[in-house]
Amino acid sequence: MGKDKNKMINFLKEYFELCKKYDLYIGACGCCNSPWVTSSLSQMDLVDHIVHLCEEAKIDPKEILSEDLLKQYEEYSKISIRDVIKKGVQAVQQSFPELDKNVTDSIVKVLFGDLADK
């Protein structure tokens, strides 16, 4: 990728700064790729967007984002995953109140794997 990779890295760096400046980023539909401009709900939304673009371009996000931001993003992602798991556990328990706790725990383990233990 060489030269093209460097162009993409430079573009993403400038794009990240532009997004921060205007608190906007360009999203796209997953099925038809129709673009739209949307405002960031938080800095982590923007970081998530940039990480996604890096993954799509097969670029290490460390090439674009600071170590501090990536560390914050990692913690943010853990919290988000925990919230999803917590809601999943509650949904399973509410949907199957007649089931023994061991059974609902097993269902949660199947749905969330090792993440359910954290």
Structure tokens at 118: 């954290």
- The partner residues of 49 in beta bridges, in order of sequence, read none
Count Cβ atoms within 10 A of the Cβ of residue 40 and give its class: 0-12 exposed, 13-18 middle, 19 or more buried.
Answer: middle
- Asked which of 39-43, 62-66, 74-78, 107-111 is least confident by mean pLDDT, the reply is 107-111
Q: What is the pLDDT of residues 49-102, one digit of tens each?
A: 999 999 999 999 999 999 999 999 998 887 766 677 777 777 777 887 777 777
pLDDT exceeds cutoff 90 at 106? no
Count Cβ atoms within 10 A of the Cβ of residue 70 and give its class: 0-12 exposed, 13-18 middle, 19 or more buried.
Answer: middle
| Predicted structure pTM score | 0.64
